[in-house]
Chains A and B, each alone.
Chain A
Amino acid sequence: MTTKDSTAPIDIRVKTARWLFYLSLVQVVGFFVVPGFIFPVKYLLYLEILAALTLGVFIALFFLAVNAWCLLIDRKRSVLYTTMIAISGGWIAWAIISWLFIEHMDYLLK
Chain B
Amino acid sequence: MIIRHPFLRAMLIFLGSWVVAVVVLLGLYFAWLRDWQMNWGASSDEVARVMPGDELFDDPTFNATRAVEIAAPPEAIWPWLVQIGYKRAGFYAFDRLDNAGIPSAERILPEFQDLKVGDSISLGGIYVNVREMIPDSLMLWVFLPNEGPWNGATWSWGLYRVDDRHTRLVARLRQDYALTSLPETIRWGLLDATEIFMMRTCLLGVKHRVEGGT
Interface residues of A (CB under 8 A from B): 12, 15-20, 22-24, 43, 46, 50, 54, 58, 62, 65, 99, 102-104, 108-110
Contacts and interface: CB of A to CB of B under 8 A. Distances in A.
Nearest to B201: A102
B208 A20 contact: no
B14 A109 contact: no
Contacts, number: 59
B21 A62 contact: yes
21 contacts: A12-B6, A16-B13, A20-B13, A23-B10, A23-B11, A43-B96, A43-B97, A46-B96, A50-B97, A54-B194, A54-B197, A62-B17, A102-B200, A102-B204, A103-B201, A103-B205, A103-B207, A109-B93, A109-B94, A109-B201, A110-B96
B109 interface: no
Given A19-B11, A43-B96, A109 B6 contact: no
B4 interface: yes
Contacts of A46: 96-97
Given A20-B14, A23-B11, A62-B18, A108 B94 contact: yes
A19 B204 contact: no
Contacts of A50: 94, 97
Contacts of B194: 54
Contacts of A102: 200-201, 204
Given A20-B10, A23-B11, A109-B104, A58 B25 contact: yes
Nearest to B14: A23
A14 to B, nearest CB: 8
**Contact-residue size bin, chain B (C-beta under 8 Å from the other chain):** 20 to 34
Interface in B74-106: 92-97, 103-104
Nearest to A19: B10
A18 B7 CA distance: 9
B9 interface: yes
A16 B17 CA distance: 14
B103 A19 contact: no
A16 B6 contact: yes
Top 9 nearest A-B pairs (CB, nearest first) are A19-B10, A15-B6, A103-B204, A103-B208, A20-B10, A16-B9, A16-B6, A23-B14, A46-B96
A54 B205 CA distance: 19
Contacts of A22: 10
A54 B200 CA distance: 14
A78 B24 CA distance: 29
Contacts of B94: 50, 108-109
Contact of A110 (B7, B13, B95): B95
A104 B94 CA distance: 12
A53 B127 CA distance: 28
B7 A19 contact: yes
B205 A109 contact: yes
